[in-house]
Structure 1
Amino acid sequence: MSAWADRRTAAEERILDAAGELFADRGVDAVAMGEIATAAGCSRATLYRYFPDRTVLQRAFVQREAVHVGALVAADTAGSGSLTDAVLSALRHVRATPTLAAWFRAGDAGRTAGLAHDSEVVAALGLAVVPDAEAAQWLVRVIVSLLTVPGGDEGDERRLVERFVGPVISLGRP
């Protein structure tokens, strides 16, 4: 667990939970800070005390969820250690979680791609799979790409990852 997650308060968690539900219902960019405050049962002043703007709130939400998905992927692949299995596990977990799947809708995918460069996201997802920081960052970009523009089915995505991602990452290992 990262240091920032250890410091999150119950109020911050409630705000992020409310934001996630609104993101799932209406889309990431369609939700205003005032709506999040109302849904979280707090004042706008309280919301802004924890999250000074929408970008900070969105980044905190993505970081929290990336840590969660990273832990699920690590648990799923503990025995296999397969890069392909790790990528497919990440795709399955994100797609199965409405509050995360919302980030990959057509209107919101650009914001998500920008947030994927955040070091906490890379640490939570990519570094859980590969030890090299640059490879981890590239792997997160691949996962975001597959979530934004999915393959036909899991079999298609497995073939793509095995053919193109696996060889590149394995060659790039230190």
Structure 2
Amino acid sequence: MESRRGSAPAALLILIAIASLVLGWAIGEFFTGRTVAKVLATIPGSPIVLDAKYDKEHHSIVYSILNPGGTPLTIVDESFVFTPGNESKEKAYVVSHVPVHIVLPPGVATKVELKLKPGTEKLHIGDAVLATFTYVQPLSNDLYTVIHPFKMGMKPENLKEKAEKKAKGGK
């Protein structure tokens, strides 16, 4: 008669090997996931301009800027070029290298106000402002820029409504 004692230790060894593999995989996955999360959290993102609106009262353009990265960014300099539209009497002008210190926290949209040149007239439909924001991030001493064009006028959905109204004979 054959003894079944020889197959029991083999089955036990196979179970231990499978359990060890699963445990090793779980531990490796845990530490890899934590390391990747830490690395991703330290990667700086490039700011994204979500919205820009003209504030007549303060004669400025208010930008909503998102920092999608995991580290704070700091805007250190603002510049812009004003180009008049057909309705404007203002001449074109450039304002460059206005020092600022605006921190963009990670994962948050921050309001940034770009003050237009004092003493100039309010923006009219068709006027354009090309803004440049220079920023730094904590991992290097390099300077980075984001450039955003802003054109004063109606929003596309309002233009569509106006065109439809005009087509129907309205004003």
Which has the higher relative contact order, 1 or 2, with Cα contacts under 8 A spaced 6 or more apart?
Answer: 1
Tell me which protein shows more strand as a share of its residues. 2
| TMscore range, shorter length | under 0.3
TM-score, normalised with respect to structure 2: 0.24
TM-score, normalised with respect to structure 1: 0.24
Tell me which protein shows more helix as a share of its residues. 1
